[in-house]
Every structure is written in C-alpha cells, then in structure tokens.
C-alpha cells in the first residue's frame, strides 16, 4: 500500500490566502493586524524560522516588527521589552522565539506576555484554557496538525492516537486537541518502555522527537495516519523528519512529508492566530 501524502505546503497556502483576505477586510474597517517577533541571540535555525515568519506576515498584509536583541540581553531588559509590546496598541500578537539563552528564564518571559497577545499559545492562561476547553490561543504546530487531519478527513472519533514527544509546544497541547476530537490518546517519551508495541496500536501516530528517521516501518500499523513534526538537519545539510518516510509510506494510510508537511502549517496558524488577536475588542 502506498500512503496518501498530506501536502502541508498546499493546505498552508490555502489557509494563508484565506487569512490574507480576512486581513484585508479588517484593514478596510481600520484595524491593521500587527505581530511583534522578538529574537535573542543568533542561533542560525531560529533566524531562519523568524525570517520566514516575518516574510509570511508581509505576504498576508500583517504588519510585523522584528526586535533583534544580542545574546547577552539580560532578563530584566527582555521583560521591559515585552511590557512595552503589551502596552503597544498597534501590536496584536507577541512572539518570543525559543530557545532563549540559558541565562534567561524562558518561562518568566512567556508569562510576561499579555494572554490576549499570546499568539504562540504558550502562556499558562492559554494552556489552561486549552486543557479545560475554554476559548484561547492554541499553539501553532498542534493547531496545524489538527487542520491537516481535518483536511485529509482522517477519522478521529474513537481512534487511537499515539504521540511521541511530551513538549509543551507540541506533544501536550496536541494530546488535548486530539482528546477534544474524541481520540484515545497516549503520550510516549524517552522513558517509554516497548515504544514500538504502543506505536503499532496507533491509528494516528505523531512523531515529535527531534531524531531523524526515528520512526521505522515496523513501528507503524498498516493504514495508520503518520504525522511527522520533526525537522532535523542531516550532516549533508538536507532536512529529514522523525519518520523514515520512504519505508513508512509503504505501510501507512496517510503520511506527511518533511519538508512540506507540518512546517508550513505552523506559520499559517501563526498568521491565523494574529488575525484572531487583532479581531478581539
């Protein structure tokens, strides 16, 4: 069996176009959505991600402000910058790119962002809302995964979903979203015993580990939907996901590629969250 490929680039393009049109309509009513992106230090991967976010904002008609701070920036300075952005009425969304340098407490910075501007959905107010089913900002990558499952019409209710990875950015919020869609959810991690026995039960298998080609064909139930959140840089410079794509595609029912899968969806959801923040009174 050859899996259907869920094309994240195509779906993200459609979603970004829908957002662009809604941004135009909002602008016509006198509200210009604005996103501030803060980057501290010069981690090359973070710089690429941030550049893509800014470019996508521009294409969608969202005004973006890039705040670049040196790696030596102390916590108090960063907190003051966040406070200024909280008070800035032209800024509807604030994104502080992670990771932050080790001398800065990232949790404290995230908690300083006004929840109404938390377009990353990382604030405890956002994660608490997600946990309890209240409205709020959903983290972009899990929201993108759910949009892909929806678009591909993958049945969720009553299904068994297995997520490998327990991060606050992907694994935990995605578990809540899948649970809300009536899946039976298991979160696995580096200490999970007999991982393959669990993944082989999954109708939906999500890999968010950060290890190239970690998920092999023998770990996948025939016909399962395999979502690859990983973006790993190989020694030859190429990108690889957490899933051994060519082999798993022979077993799975659906699969997402890397690149061109979940990655583009993350940015599309960031734009949608920024639009949502700008719409709030």
Which residues are marked as active site? Answer: 53, 97, 120
State the distance between the two ends of the chain, measured CA to CA, in whole angstroms. 50
Q: Per rule CB under 6 A, is residue 267 in the interface with ligand GUN?
A: no
Name the minimum Å distance from CB 104 to ligand GUN.
13
Least separation in angstroms between CB 251 and ligand GUN: 29
Instruction: Identify the three-state secondary structure at position 141.
Output: helix
Smallest CA-to-CA distance from 93 within 277, 269, 266, 268 is with: 277
In the bound state with ligand GUN, the residue whose beta carbon lies nearer, of 164 and 170, is 170
Binding of residue 82 to ligand GUN (CB under 6 A) = no
Please report where in the chains the tokens 């459609």 appear, as a residue: 14
Within 10 Å of residue 8's Cβ, how many Cβ atoms?
Answer: 27
Rounded Cα–Cα distance for residues 213 and 206 (Å)? 13
Site for ligand GUN in 162-191 (CB under 6 A): 169
Is position 213 an interface residue for ligand GUN (rule: CB under 6 A)? no
Which of residues 143 and 219 has its CB atom nearest to ligand GUN in the complex? 143
Of the two residues 97 and 127, which places its CB atom closer to ligand GUN in the complex?
97
Question: What is the per-residue binding string for ligand GUN in 84-123, x denoting contact by CB under 6 A?
Answer: -----------xxxx---------------------x---
Query: Which tokens in the block code for residue 156?
Result: 């969720």
Structural tokens at position 146: 């759910």
- Closest among 201, 222, 219, 224 to 209, alpha carbons compared: 219
* CA 11 vs CA 14, 123, 167, 190, 276: distances in Å: 5, 27, 25, 32, 19
Q: How far is the CB of 281 from ligand GUN (least distance, A)?
A: 25
Per-residue exposure over 222-236, b if at least 16 CB sit within 10 Å of its own CB, e if not: eebbbbbbbbbeeee
Residue 272 C-beta: closest distance to ligand GUN, Å: 13
Task: Give me the phi and psi of 219, to 5 degrees please.
Answer: -95, 0
The residue (of 21 and 103) whose beta carbon lies closer to ligand GUN is: 103
Considering the complex, state which of residue 97 and residue 256 has its C-beta at the smaller distance from ligand GUN: 97
140 lies in the binding site for ligand GUN (CB under 6 A): yes
- Per CB under 6 A, residues contacting ligand GUN are 95-98, 120, 140-141, 169, 266
């Amino acid at each position: 069996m050859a899996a259907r490929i869920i094309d994240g680039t195509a779906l993200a393009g459609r979603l970004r176009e829908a957002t662009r049109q809604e941004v135009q309509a909002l602008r016509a009513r006198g509200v210009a959505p604005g996103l501030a992106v803060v980057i501290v230090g010069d981690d090359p991967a973070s710089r690429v991600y941030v550049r893509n976010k800014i470019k996508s904002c521009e294409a969608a008609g969202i005004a973006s402000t890039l705040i670049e701070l040196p790696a030596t920036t102390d916590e108090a300075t960063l907190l003051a910058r966040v406070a200024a952005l909280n008070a800035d009425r032209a800024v509807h969304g604030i994104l502080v790119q992670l990771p932050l340098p080790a001398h800065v407490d990232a949790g404290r910075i995230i908690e300083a962002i006004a929840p109404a501007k938390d377009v990353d959905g990382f604030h405890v107010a956002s994660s608490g809302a997600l946990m309890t089913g209240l409205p709020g900002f959903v983290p972009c990558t899990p929201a993108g995964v759910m949009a892909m499952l929806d678009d591909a019409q993958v049945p969720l209710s009553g299904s068994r979903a297995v997520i490998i990875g327990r991060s606050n950015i992907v694994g935990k919020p995605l578990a809540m979203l899948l649970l809300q869609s009536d899946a039976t959810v298991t979160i696995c991690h580096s200490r999970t015993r007999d991982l393959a026995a669990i993944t082989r039960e999954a109708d939906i298998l999500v890999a968010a580990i950060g290890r190239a080609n970690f998920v092999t064909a023998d770990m996948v139930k025939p016909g399962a939907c395999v979502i690859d959140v990983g973006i790993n840089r190989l020694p030859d410079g190429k990108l690889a996901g957490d899933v051994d794509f060519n082999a798993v595609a022979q077993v799975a029912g659906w699969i997402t590629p890397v690149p061109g899968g979940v990655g583009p969806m993350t940015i599309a959801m960031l734009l949608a969250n920024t639009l949502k923040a700008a719409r709030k009174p």
